Amino acid sequence: MSENNLSYPKICKNTDGQYFIRFYMHKKRYRLFSGRMINSSLRPNTYPKKLRLGKAVLLAKEVYDFLVKNNYSFEKKISSLEFFDKIIDKKLQEPLSDRYKKELKSLSDKLRKQLAFKGEISLDYLDSIPLRYNNNTSYNTIRRYLNVLVNYLYENNFPIERSKLKSRKQEETLHKPIEDVKELLKKVKAFNEDLYLCCLFIYGCLLRPHQEIRLLKWEDFTIDLSHIRLSGNQVKSKRNRIVPVSPKIRETLKRKEGYLNIFTGLKQPYSRSYFIQLWRRFKRLNPEVDKLGYGILIYYIGTGFFLGILTLMDKGLELPLGFHAANNFFTAILVTADWTAFRTNSLYKDVSEPVLGWDVLIPVFVIYPILLFVFSKKYGWNNWKEKLFGRVLSKEEFVALTDGESDMA
């Protein structure tokens, strides 16, 4: 027996004529008929009788070499990457929210790349991840997620140091209360019916939009739609909830088959980001349209046509881009208002009540035609019908027409 308490396997044969190997390791006797314990497919007794002895000799060598290489143990050593993946997979199998798992997965991928590249995850590297963020809120958020991962790895015996970075103070922002909830809901309803219903459930039933409201089915309501019954697996607290539904909300509901989602009308709900995207789009609505009405679109569309004509007649973007930049530049310098889409520190501020008047029509029907006339004389524009309504040339035709001088050649 060697100094490492491992004897070289001896070839043996039992009364049934089956070969096996016998050896001692750490004062314990082993008898192996196959290579299963070392993940080897070698099974001597499945071969013809004449070949079994030779295969048993080969098995003895494979087992001995494996044990010597694996520090005299049948428990196969796993690499640091495999150990890391095992711990992270265990963490991500916990009952966490999808968003939380996504953040942890993103950070764990960064740690894994560093481990694969450097062979370790140093404390300097850990500290560098949150330090990339100048915004205190982002810094604290990333630091918190990172500490969750590092602490879990540390507690599961992964060789890693805990970060000692401290949280940063965040400036508190006082959000202005909604002055007119009815007016806001009216605008939301005009924008999107689903978002409107979601808002009613948020403020009327105190339900969470993404985890509870989005997944609502008609079977979650009582027959008279007066209450919503949510089981523990539908809510964050994991407790059953019975929520009353106000008459105002019941007026907007039209009951359908119980297994259908109340928003999609199908078995499947919308994606988790559905209401997030709708709310973002609602907040980005042009405030000028909201204040002045859809009549302002005459100016927007008219300006678009004007710039398009400049592009086609001048055969380039230089003139329309210059006009657009100059228009915005002087507007930004001279005057602004609280309800405009483009707010700047201008010389003057319009504090009057916004009204859609005749002054919106003057640029479209007076100034723009005059400018087109001036530009046509200055730049010698001609053949208007062909340039504005003619056939669009292919690349080859355009190159041939310009004698190969175009950049497209």
Q: Is residue 191 part of a domain?
A: yes
Nearest to 97 by CA among 145, 25, 166, 161: 145
pLDDT, tens digit, 9 for 90 and up, residues 43-95: 999 999 899 999 999 999 999 998 888 878 877 667 888 889 999 999 999 88
pLDDT digits (tens, 9 = 90+) for 198-223: 999 998 998 999 889 999 999 999 99
Inside any domain, residue 401: no
Which is it for strands 348-349 and 335-336: parallel, antiparallel or unpaired?
Answer: parallel
Contacts of 40 (CB under 8 A, 6+ apart): 34, 59, 62, 66
pLDDT of residue 77: 67
- Looking at 283, 304, 331, the residue that finishes a domain is 283
Q: Tell me which of 39 and 47 has the higher pLDDT.
A: 47
Q: What is the DSSP letter of 6?
A: B
- How far is the CA of 54 from the CAs of 49, 150, 184, 302, 409, in angstroms? 10, 51, 85, 92, 74
| Same structural domain, 308 and 373 | yes
Residues 92 and 31 in one domain: no
Same-domain check for residues 193 and 140: no
* Assigned domain for 166 exists: no
**70: DSSP letter:** T
In the chain, the number of structural domains is 4
Strand 241-244 and strand 335-336: the pairing is unpaired
User: Where does 192-273 have alpha helices with state H?
Assistant: 193-205, 247-250
Is 50 in contact with 24 (CB distance < 8 Å)?
no
CA dihedral 106, 108, 110, 114 (to 10 degrees): -170
Identify the H or E element spanning 244: strand 241-244
Last residue of a domain, one of 45, 69, 93: 69
Same domain for 268 and 205, yes or no, is yes
Residue 189 falls within a domain, yes or no? yes
- Domain for residue 273, yes or no? yes
Say if residue 269 is in the same domain as residue 225.
yes
Whether residue 304 lies inside any domain: the answer is yes
In terms of Cα–Cα distance, which of 308, 331, 330 is closest to 320? Answer: 308
Same structural domain for residues 48 and 87? Answer: no
Distance CA 266, CA 256 (A): 10
- The yes-or-no verdict on residue 406 having pLDDT over 50 is no
Name the residue among 80, 152, 90, 89 with its Cα closest to residue 121: 80
Q: Which of 364, 328, 355 is nearest to 343 (CA)?
A: 328
Give yes or no: residues 189 and 256 share one domain.
yes
Look at the alpha carbons of 25, 30, 35, 38 in this order and tell me if their dihedral is positive or negative.
negative
Sheet containing 19-25: order of strands: 10-13, 19-25, 28-32
Per-residue pLDDT averaged across 233-238, rounded?
Answer: 78
pTM over 0.85: no
Q: Are residues 142 and 86 part of one domain?
A: yes
- Domain range for residue 125? 80-155
* Residue at 331: amino acid letter: T
Each residue's pLDDT tens digit, 156-167: 888 898 888 888
Q: What whole-number distance in Å separates Cα of residue 348 and Cα of residue 336?
A: 7
Could you tell me if residue 355 is inside a domain? yes
Are 186 and 266 contained in the same domain?
Answer: yes
| Predicted confidence (pLDDT) per residue in 333-353, tens digit | 888 777 676 677 788 887 777
Give how far the C-alpha of residue 320 lies from the chain's centroid of Cα atoms, to the nearest Å.
37
List C-alpha distances in Å: 271 to 103, 214, 238. Answer: 18, 8, 22
One domain, residues 144 and 65? no
Whether 27 and 95 map to the same domain: the answer is: no
Residue 3 lies in a domain: no
Do 192 and 272 fall within a single domain?
A: yes
Task: Tell me if 259 sits within 8 A of 269, measured CB to CB.
Answer: no
